[in-house]
Every structure is written in structure tokens, then in C-alpha cells.
Structure 1
């Protein structure tokens, strides 16, 4: 009798555990699908409409583990993670920019050890940005499939994510190079971006597809087609972006000019960007991309100010140092601080 009771208890225990396991699995699966759907329908549009770059990049860092964890019990939330990783990459990129400004200031002051330290911080953050943008590239591949030379069939919404995925992929390569390759980003990305960008109409997507192509031409010696000028193509991309009210092409133009170290060309581009920002004609649904482009312009502006004057530029973007400032004037401005 006792043996029979033990069997009944064991049976009941196994039954309860099984039911609980199945129930939990079901709940997790439903929750995962709900979170993924919510992220695509509401979280991503909210992030893209935000002008607060710091907030969104921090949100990207915080939300990626939560959103990505649901792929353990549900379908892979590749698109939400792609956008969140883009935001997370922007955080690391901004930290690298800050370190670069400190590095330039230390160089100007002749503080070699301090400059070396900030340079190390800059390189590490470029590496972190490369890894985060690289994860966005992996999510892009997971959702759309490996590039096989043929353009996939894309809905209008898919085209947007395709564009963002290509942009993140290129940023992964650019930051990996700045980090001396510590991000271990796949080296075939430039070829993929160059070819896959042709799957999108530059007239419809703010000139970004041809901007991506131009950046590839500038990044790899000898690949620019005969009769093509990368900077002229970037100018065309920027014009299309300005017309559409989305400045992402300007972000890539600024990066290209910075890579060439042409300060006069950078000043011209930043001044033109400042005029566009003054007109406030950007699209509401893509304010995050506008803020990212503005941050890049401001960074290049601050670099010029620090090199020439030892401090960052004014809040109003588009002005640059004019001649030598009187040292007494600097002392007067700093009194009481």
C-alpha cells in the first residue's frame, strides 16, 4: 500500500512539474512574440522619432539584452535588435569622439602622457562601436539572408531596415579600422554594402544608397569606377537627402571629409549643414538620424576649434575661428569660473 501511495505521489509530482514547464514555456513564447511585435510596432518608431541621441543610445545598450533574450523561447527579434544595436553603437561612437577631443586638447597643451591615455580610450571605444555595429550587421544578415548577388524582394518597410542594416554594416567597418581591427568585423562587408546598396532607389531613400557606395570607393584604393568621383557622388546624395528632409547622407559625407583631413572642405560642409538645420525641415519620423548627423558635424567642428583655439566651438553650429584671439580676452572670459 505504501509503495502504491509513493507511486501516486511521484506521478502527481511529475504531472505538476510537466504542466508548469509547459505553461511557462507557453507564457515565455507568447511574451517573446508580444515583446518583439511591440518593439517593431512602437519601440522602434519611438526611438527613430527622438531627438535625444544620448537617451536613445543608452536605451539601445539597456534594451538589447532584454529584447534579444526572447529568441531563446520565440522567434529571433532581429529587426528590433538591429535598431537597438545601432543606438548602442552610437553610444560607443560618441565616447570615442569625446576621447578624441580630449586627446587633441592634451596634444595642444603638450601633455604627452595624457594624450596617449585619451588615444587609448578612443581606440577602445571605436572597437566597442565596431562590435555593436557588427552585431547589427549579423542581425541584418539573419533577417534578410546572406548576400548572394541577387536583390531580395523587399516591402517598403523592409527597404528601410535594409538601408539601416547596410548603414550599420559600413559603420562597423569604419570603426573597426579606427580600432586597429579589434572588432573582428568581417572583411567582406564593403563588397556586400557596395553591391547590396544598388537594391535600393537613392531617390526614395534620401541619397543614402549612393552615399554608401561612395564611401566604399573612398575606403578601398582602386575600386572607384572610371569616370566616377566619390565626392561628387556624395554631393548628389546630400542634395537628395536635403530635399527629402533626412540628413543621413550628410553624416557619411562628413566622415569621408574627416578621413581626408581637409579642414576647409569640412568647414564648408558643416556650414551648409547648419543652414539646413536652421530651416528645420527634417522629417519627424527620422529625428534620430538627424541628431546623429548633427553630432558628427558638431564633432568635426569642435575638433577644428580645439586645434585652432584650444576649446570647443559655440553652441550655434556653423561658425569657426577668425584669426587670433587676444590672450587677455581669454583671461577675462575665464575669470570667476
Structure 2
């Protein structure tokens, strides 16, 4: 009897060990596939909804392979950033509905939409924060010195820094719901110096400038955050990857300067028609355009009660330059 029990235990142990090996190998294969094929596919797509939904769906699956001992930090980081964008878009929609309700004098409805907006900002902050934590797990805690980064890792380093900045901004909008630590701004500002700004379309300069603009007293003596942001935007425009414009718009929106926001949005719309986007990074382009479109829609909603043109090329009271803007109601 004892021999039979021993034999059974041995078979179970071997089976479990083999399963563990299979899971670990599968995790490594999945992580390799994600880095070699899934992430480049994501970045080349301009379909924000599909990518953010994919990040929400695949993120937990990819992350679960950590339980097998597989290293999946980079793939999970990208998935969580995509998932964060889903929550961000929901926060944007709730904000537009809030503005519309206020305009119609529907107080209770407005408060409900505002509550939803704050909650979605909180979800976005948590997801972006998790992406940033994956970044720290892979590259190590920031100690003031740049880590050794291979050419293939630089893009992930930039994504990790960007996720940290987005986590900060959304946590502020959610009234601190996600509890993003105070160390994140210093990580973003310091880590941005580890990347060549021209190689990465001015984005490292933009990340540092947004921290300076967002955190009181963060701007070093002799530095001008707005001028640095303008240089970042210039580099991004020339490269056809305008992530810097996304951060510039967010920084301006945080200050509430409507006239400046209008100016930046119109500049963004104009440059899109002049300089084609880099095909390998259409996702980042779409993200930047979505932010400008949202800020444009907010202005239109406040002033007219409806959203503005899809190419965010004009504002109420200005001469329209696109046929779709000539008469938004003619087909209704």
C-alpha cells in the first residue's frame, strides 16, 4: 500500500513539475512574442479603441505568467499603458457629458457625470501607475544615475517614463485616488535625461518640461519650461511623431488658459496636414490627436452645446475650413 501511495505521489510531482516547466516556457515565449511582434503591431496602429481594449484584455493574461517565474515586465507595461488609455477615454467622455449637462442647467446630472469622470481618472492613474511600476521592476529603482539601456530597450524606457507622467496627471485629476507617490515626478524628470531627445522625437524634453510646469518649485534655476516644451514640440513635428504636443496640450489644459489651448490645438491641426506621421508610431500620433480633439470638443461643448470638427481645425466664431463643418445639422 505504501509503495502505491509513493508511486502516486511521484507521478503527481512529476506531472506538476512538467506543467510548471511548460508554463514557464510559455510565459517566456509569450513575452518574447509580445516584444518582437505584438508591441510593434500596437505602435503601428492608429486605432486607439482597439489597442486600449487589447491592453485591458491581454494585460492580466500576460501578467499572470509572472507566477511561473517568467519575466513579463515590458509586455505588461505596454498592455497596462493601453488599458490606461481606455479609462482615460471614458473620463474624457464623462467630462463632455458633464459640460453639456451644466450648459443645460441639469445640476444633478452634471454632478453624476463629474463623479464618473473623477472615478475614471482614478482608474487611469492606477493603470498608468502599474505600467510605471513594471518599468521600475525591469530597469531598477531610480537612484539618480541612468541604467544601462540597450537600443532595443530605449523605447520601453520612454514608455515607462511616459506612463509615470500620465499617472501623475490622472491621479491629480482623481483627487489623489490612486495614491501615486511623490517620487514619480523626480523619476520622470531625471530619467528623461537618459534618452537622446532628438532620437525620440523631443519626448524626453517634453516629459521633463511637464514636470516643471506641474510641480511647484520643480523648475531649476536658469531653465524655462515653456521654451523647452517648444523645442520638444519642434523636434516631434520634424520627426512626424507628435507625442510632445500631447503633453504640451495637457500642461496648458492644467493651467486653464483657453486662448493658449486654442492656439496650440490649431497649430497641431495644421502641422498634421503638412508633415506626415511616422508609420511605425501611428498609435502615439493617434493618442496625441485624441488629446487635442478632446480639448477642442470641450471648448465647442461649452460654447455651442456640441462637439467640434474631427480634425479640430476651427473654433466657434471662426471661419470654417472643412466641408464637414459647414452645416453639422443639414442631414438630420
The answer to whether TM tops 0.5 is: yes
2:111 to 107, 116, 119: 116
Deviation track 1:17-48 (CA, whole Å, cap 9, x = no partner) reads 12211211111111111111111111111111
Instruction: Give yes or no for the alignment of 1:14 onto 2:16.
Output: no
What's the offset of the Cα at 1:323? 6.6
CA contact under 8 A between 1:124 and 1:179: conserved in structure 2? yes
| Mapped partners of 2:318, 2:205: distance in 1 | 37
| Mapped partners of 2:331, 2:270: distance in 1 | 34
Instruction: Give yes or no for the alignment of 1:194 onto 2:189.
Output: yes
Deviation track 1:168-223 (CA, whole Å, cap 9, x = no partner) reads 00110110011010101111111111111111111111111111111111111222
What's the offset of the Cα at 1:12? 2.6
| Mapped partners of 1:336, 1:52: distance in 2 | 27
Instruction: Give yes or no for the alignment of 1:315 onto 2:310.
Output: yes
Instruction: Give yes or no for the alignment of 1:48 onto 2:43.
Output: yes
Instruction: Give yes or no for the alignment of 1:224 onto 2:202.
Output: no
Deviation track 1:65-114 (CA, whole Å, cap 9, x = no partner) reads 10000011132200000000110000001100100001111111111111
2:264 to 255, 266, 269: 269
Instruction: Give yes or no for the alignment of 1:290 onto 2:290.
Output: no
The gaps in structure 2 that reach 5 residues or longer are: 320-326
| Mapped partners of 1:289, 1:312: distance in 2 | 23
CA contact under 8 A between 1:210 and 1:237: conserved in structure 2? yes
Q: Mark the structure with the bigger radius of gyration.
A: 1
The gaps in structure 1 that reach 5 residues or longer are: 1-5, 325-331
Instruction: Give yes or no for the alignment of 1:105 onto 2:100.
Output: yes
| Mapped partners of 2:15, 2:188: distance in 1 | 47
Deviation track 1:213-247 (CA, whole Å, cap 9, x = no partner) reads 11111111222223332222111100000111111
CA contact under 8 A between 2:28 and 2:71: conserved in structure 1? no
Runs of 4+ deviating beyond 4 Å: 332-337
- If the length of structure 1 is used for normalisation, what is the TM-score? 0.93
| Mapped partners of 1:171, 1:273: distance in 2 | 20
CA contact under 8 A between 2:125 and 2:166: conserved in structure 1? yes
Deviation track 1:259-289 (CA, whole Å, cap 9, x = no partner) reads 1111121111111111222235111111111
CA contact under 8 A between 2:81 and 2:127: conserved in structure 1? yes
| Structure-2 change in CA distance of 1:253 and 1:336 (3 Å) | closer
CA contact under 8 A between 2:238 and 2:275: conserved in structure 1? no
Task: Look up the match of 2:142.
Answer: 147
Task: Look up the match of 1:233.
Answer: 228
